[in-house]
Amino acid sequence: MDVIRAIESEQMKENAVNFHVGDTVKVHFTIKEGEKERIQVYEGLVIAIKNGGIRKTFIVRKISYGVGVERIFPVHSPRIEKIDVVRRGRVRRAKLYYIRTKIGKAAKIPELIIRKRPTV
């Protein structure tokens, strides 16, 4: 198993996950069109993170022209340039699959506000 772990860790990014489930993120993803390369930004809500070493993935959901779109990104993919966190969300579970059945206000995730502890 050590050999496999060594092979996997070669391509793994350090601190690749700088977000949590419930956050709204911008994923900068490189796309190859023939010879050309360009960066596409995909913005949406992270509804799940699935672990599995190099196979670790996360699901980003957005509503595009009234249609729900979900994309699964491998966390360690070399095609992910960077991930920006737009908004932190306050959620109480690890997987937000229930959001698929909600529309409008019910599908909203409240923003996470971290209060600083009052200094004594």
Partner 1 sequence: MLGLIGKKIGMTQVFDANGKLTPVTVIKIEDNVVVENRTVEKHGYSSCVLGSFDKKKSQTTKPYAGQFEGVCAPKKTLVEMRDFDKEAAVGEVMGVNMFKDVMFVDVVGTSKGKGFQGGMKRHGFAGGRATHGSKFHRDIGGTAMSSSPSKTFKGKKMAGRMGNERVTVQNLRVIRVDEEMQVLLVKGAIPGPAQSVVIVQKAKKK
Instruction: Give residues in contact with partner 1 (CB under 8 A).
Output: 1, 3-4, 6-8, 11, 30, 32, 53-55, 74, 76-79
Map residue 32 onto helix, strand or coil. Answer: strand
Q: Which is nearer to partner 1, 5 or 90 (CB)?
A: 5
Parallel, antiparallel or unpaired: strands 67-74 and 57-64: antiparallel
Tell me how far, at minimum, the Cβ of 12 lies from partner 1, in Å.
10
**Rounded Cα distance, 29 and 33, in Å:** 13
Tell me how far, at minimum, the Cβ of 30 lies from partner 1, in Å.
7
Cα separation values, 62 from 17, 22, 34, 69, 110, Å: 19, 12, 28, 5, 16
Q: Which is nearer to partner 1, 56 or 61 (CB)?
A: 56
Q: Which is nearer to partner 1, 2 or 104 (CB)?
A: 2
Tell me how far, at minimum, the Cβ of 79 lies from partner 1, in Å.
4
